[in-house]
């Protein structure tokens, strides 16, 4: 194809641009935000919150950008494996999985390096501007209208049109794709929502030698507490570049954490031992930043009967689920891989990309299933309940309880949590039988 245009140059847009550079002579990424050298920007304020990179996301990152792990580690990211990656449920440390790997880095640090790699690819251009609308013609999207960024005075306010064989929506959760489709006489994808009313607060701490064997510590409420933070506060911390700990605390509805540093520290002291220790021994750097996440959302493009050719969507514009499970970056990478395999079938870019959306729906379903099953355990989350929820909940509670005690059950659990396997894999007879044995022995 001659030209592909990617709308949004954050993580999903960057992965899409990487994929498209294998298929198009020219790839133009249009990004509204000035991300600067530190990569923080304003367009996606969640960038400043803790971002864990799941094992599957890390594998895909390295697959699409070979050598990037070494580059990140050389810049100060911390690699963690086995017992350095600690997951707690109801305040109890789960059996460590020896080969589980995670990388500790802030999101801007990671994304800036991915952006540099993408910008260096032949034929790829990253342009600052805001996409305003799609251009339609002959049953397909034939391009995009955008305005150059307002801090480029020579171009301010000028509307530009850019022809494209394929347009990718990577504009995140607030994408206006649905409105543009309606305006062009097409249907928008049905939106599924689950209200969760989650609050997040993230802070950075100076890292010394206090916990040399910890890269990630993650604490969540589980079956023993009825999914209420009664046994320990939910939160996580990651060793990141610049010899710092990044710590996040989470809570729902009236239990949402605030900005007050004293409250933040008090709450860390009610959390699992590593977070408690950081609160006691490390200096808080800068302010506590909060984020409110009212609902998980997904747009189901596979339900559409009419869809224009020349258009796909990736990342949060398709699905944005409870961030507690850390799936977004990995989902973006997996969708890029789906786009790659779709294009490798020889699909014509001008044709409706329904087969791409079907492929991507498999990974989106997996992420949604995992987060929805866990979220529905919260008393304040009232649905919608998926079919088979009661059975799934029962099985997940048993597997979670056994995963604290047994490394093989925990491996099966972590393979799903890290998106290496589909949630269906937890219902394999071998996993269920081992879970039953472990729980019977523990009684």
Ligand X SMILES: Cc1cc2nc3c(=O)[nH]c(=O)nc-3n(C[C@H](O)[C@H](O)[C@H](O)COP(=O)(O)OP(=O)(O)OC[C@H]3O[C@@H](n4cnc5c(N)ncnc54)[C@H](O)[C@@H]3O)c2cc1C
Question: Min. distance of Cβ 319 from ligand X in angstroms?
Answer: 8
> Residue 405: how many CB atoms within 10 A of its CB?
16
246 binding ligand X? (CB under 6 A): no
Q: In the set 39, 43, 229, 310, which binds ligand X (CB under 6 A)?
A: 43
Select from 6-14, 218-226, 348-356, 434-442 the region that touches ligand X (CB under 6 A): 6-14
How many Å apart are CA 275 and CA 422, to the nearest integer?
Answer: 31
> What is the pattern of x (binds ligand X, CB under 6 A) and - over residues 288-327?
---x-x---------------------xx---x--x--xx
> What is the pattern of x (binds ligand X, CB under 6 A) and - over residues 323-342?
x--xxxxx-x----------
Question: Min. distance of Cβ 133 from ligand X in angstroms?
Answer: 9
Long-range pairs for 384-390: beta carbons < 8 A, 24 or more residues apart = 384/192, 384/194
368 binding ligand X? (CB under 6 A): no
Q: Helix 273-281 and helix 261-268: axis angle, to 10°?
A: 140
Closer Cβ to ligand X, 330 or 373, answer by number: 330
> Which stretch of DSSP H or E encloses residue 340?
helix 328-344
Phi-psi region of 339 (alpha: psi -120 to 50; beta: other; left: phi over 0): alpha
Would you give the DSSP letter of residue 234? -
Q: In the set 23, 83, 116, 130, which binds ligand X (CB under 6 A)?
A: 130
46 binding ligand X? (CB under 6 A): yes
Report 87-116 residues binding ligand X (CB under 6 A). Answer: none
Long-range pairs for 155-160: beta carbons < 8 A, 24 or more residues apart = 159/132, 160/129
Select from 47-55, 263-271, 279-287, 344-352 the region that touches ligand X (CB under 6 A): 47-55
Question: Min. distance of Cβ 79 from ligand X in angstroms?
Answer: 17
Task: Count residues binding ligand X (CB under 6 A).
Answer: 37
With b for 16 or more beta-carbon neighbours within 10 A and e for fewer, the 235-270 pattern comes to bbbbbbbeebbbbbbbbbeebbbeeeeeebbebbeb
Select from 31-39, 75-83, 227-235, 339-347 the region that touches ligand X (CB under 6 A): 31-39
> Which stretch of DSSP H or E encloses residue 431?
helix 429-442
> What is the pattern of x (binds ligand X, CB under 6 A) and - over residues 50-89?
xxx-------------------------------------
Burial of 388 (0-12, 13-18, 19+ CB in 10 A): exposed
Closer Cβ to ligand X, 107 or 421, answer by number: 107
> Residue 420: how many CB atoms within 10 A of its CB?
16
Contacts (Cβ under 8 Å, ≥6 apart) of 67: none
Closer Cβ to ligand X, 103 or 268, answer by number: 103
Would you give the DSSP letter of residue 309? B
> Which stretch of DSSP H or E encloses residue 115?
helix 107-119
Distances (CA, A) of 128 to 125, 176, 202, 354, 415: 10, 18, 29, 30, 38
Q: In the set 33, 197, 263, 355, which binds ligand X (CB under 6 A)?
A: 33
Report 144-183 residues binding ligand X (CB under 6 A). Answer: 170-173
Closer Cβ to ligand X, 7 or 402, answer by number: 7
216 binding ligand X? (CB under 6 A): no
CB-CB contact of 13 with 7 (8 Å) = yes
Select from 38-46, 96-104, 356-364, 388-396 the region that touches ligand X (CB under 6 A): 38-46
Q: In the set 6, 13, 308, 398, which binds ligand X (CB under 6 A)?
A: 13
> Which stretch of DSSP H or E encloses residue 351?
none
30 binding ligand X? (CB under 6 A): yes
Question: Min. distance of Cβ 156 from ligand X in angstroms?
Answer: 15
Closer Cβ to ligand X, 136 or 293, answer by number: 293
User: What is the binding site for ligand X (CB under 6 A)?
Assistant: 7-13, 30-33, 43-44, 46, 49-52, 130-131, 170-173, 200, 291, 293, 315-316, 320, 323, 326-330, 332
């Amino acid at each position: 194809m001659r030209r592909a245009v990617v709308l949004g140059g954050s993580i999903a847009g960057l992965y899409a641009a990487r994929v498209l550079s294998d298929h198009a002579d020219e790839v133009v990424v249009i990004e509204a935000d000035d991300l600067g050298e530190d990569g923080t920007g304003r367009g996606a304020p969640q960038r400043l919150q803790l971002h864990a990179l799941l094992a599957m996301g890390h594998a895909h990152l390295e697959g699409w950008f070979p050598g990037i792990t070494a580059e990140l580690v050389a810049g100060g990211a911390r690699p963690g494996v086995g017992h350095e990656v600690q997951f707690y449920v109801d305040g109890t440390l789960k059996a460590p999985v020896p080969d589980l790997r995670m990388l500790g880095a802030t999101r801007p640090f990671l994304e800036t390096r991915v952006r540099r790699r993408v910008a260096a690819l032949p034929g790829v251009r990253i342009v600052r501007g805001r996409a305003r609308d799609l251009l339609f013609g002959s049953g397909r999207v034939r391009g995009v209208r955008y305005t150059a960024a307002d801090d480029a005075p020579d171009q301010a306010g000028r509307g530009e049109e850019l022809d494209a064989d394929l347009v990718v929506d990577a504009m995140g959760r607030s994408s206006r794709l649905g409105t543009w489709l309606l305006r062009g006489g097409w249907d928008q994808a049905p939106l599924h929502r689950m209200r969760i009313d989650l609050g997040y607060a993230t802070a950075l701490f100076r890292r010394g030698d206090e916990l040399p064997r910890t890269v990630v510590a993650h604490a969540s409420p589980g079956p023993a507490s009825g999914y209420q933070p009664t046994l320990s506060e939910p939160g996580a911390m990651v060793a990141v570049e610049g010899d710092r700990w990044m710590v996040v605390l989470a809570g729902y509805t009236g239990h949402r954490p605030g900005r007050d540093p004293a409250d933040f520290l008090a709450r860390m002291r009610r959390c699992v031992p590593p977070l408690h220790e950081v609160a006691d021994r490390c200096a808080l750097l800068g302010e506590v930043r909060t984020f409110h996440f009212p609902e998980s959302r997904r747009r189901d493009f596979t339900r559409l009967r009419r869809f224009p050719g020349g258009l796909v969507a990736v990342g949060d514009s398709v699905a944005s689920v409870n961030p507690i499970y850390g799936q977004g970056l990995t989902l973006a990478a997996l969708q890029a891989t789906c786009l790659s395999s779709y294009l490798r079938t020889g699909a014509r870019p001008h044709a409706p990309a329904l087969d791409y959306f079907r492929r991507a729906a498999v990974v989106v379903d997996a992420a949604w299933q995992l987060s929805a099953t866990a979220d529905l355990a919260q008393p304040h989350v009232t649905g919608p309940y998926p079919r088979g929820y009661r059975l799934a909940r029962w099985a997940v509670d048993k597997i979670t309880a056994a995963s604290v005690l047994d490394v093989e059950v925990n491996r099966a659990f972590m393979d799903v949590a890290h998106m290496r396997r589909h949630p269906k894999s937890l219902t394999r007879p071998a996993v269920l039988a081992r879970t039953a044995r472990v729980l019977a022995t523990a009684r």
